[in-house]
Homo-oligomer: A and B are copies of this chain.
């Protein structure tokens, strides 16, 4: 019998890491802003040690920039950076889709369909947080079906790099409808086993995101 995986209370650094991610995505910590360690540690109710270890993880992901003796600063994205992120995602996700489609399971398809439902429902009721989360689940279920753990991780990091700005263009109603249509088309292509179609649809989907994000990015 498979051994039950027991829950473990999260360590302080794990809790702080999750909080930091959330704070960065929601814009509570704004791009360019310095992360004042004393203040944040107190706010999270921990000492600076676990906070600093969490920041080191985020540094590795490019979410914060570290300057020795100066501190950590929330990363800012300029337009070149944005385009590079999406160019790399093109390369990685196209590969992921090609591998994923032929071997995707019924369970995974079901998760994707459910996530899609939830995106549309949350979109209708204006729940941006849920929408963002379900949207993420939809896309990552597909990427992870490729069974390339390193690639999945890289895509996740790149995804997170633009999460600060993502909610901004989701608020636009026209885009939302287009996004839903694209999602459904992707799901159909994946169901039908047409990897190339899915890859192309996803590239178009990303291109829409890039041009929307470009308009929304802080002026350089």
Do residues A8 and B68 form an inter-chain contact, with CB atoms below 8 A? yes
Within 8 Å by CB of A88, from B57, B84, B150, lies: B150
Count this chain's copies in the assembly: 2
Whether, in the assembled complex, A193 has its beta carbon less than 8 Å from a beta carbon of chain B, the answer is no
Which label, helix, strand, loop or mixed, suits the secondary structure of the A interface?
A: helix
Once bound together, how far apart are the Cα atoms of A59 and B53, in whole Å?
A: 11
Within 8 Å by CB of A60, from B61, B85, B150, B158, lies: B61
Interface string of A1-42 (1 = CB under 8 A from B): 000000010010010000000000000000000000000000
Whether, in the assembled complex, A200 has its beta carbon less than 8 Å from a beta carbon of chain B, the answer is no
Number of interface residues of A (CB under 8 A): 28
Within 8 Å by CB of A149, from B52, B68, B84, lies: B84
Whether, in the assembled complex, A151 has its beta carbon less than 8 Å from a beta carbon of chain B, the answer is yes
Determine the chain B residues whose CB is within 8 A of the CB of A49 once the complex forms. 49
Do residues B52 and A84 form an inter-chain contact, with CB atoms below 8 A? no
Do residues B84 and A91 form an inter-chain contact, with CB atoms below 8 A? no
Interface string of A129-150 (1 = CB under 8 A from B): 0000000000000000000111
Residue of B nearest to A151 (CB): B88
Whether, in the assembled complex, A127 has its beta carbon less than 8 Å from a beta carbon of chain B, the answer is no
5 example contacts (A-B, Cβ-Cβ < 8 A) are as follows: A11-B69, A60-B60, A85-B150, A91-B91, A150-B158
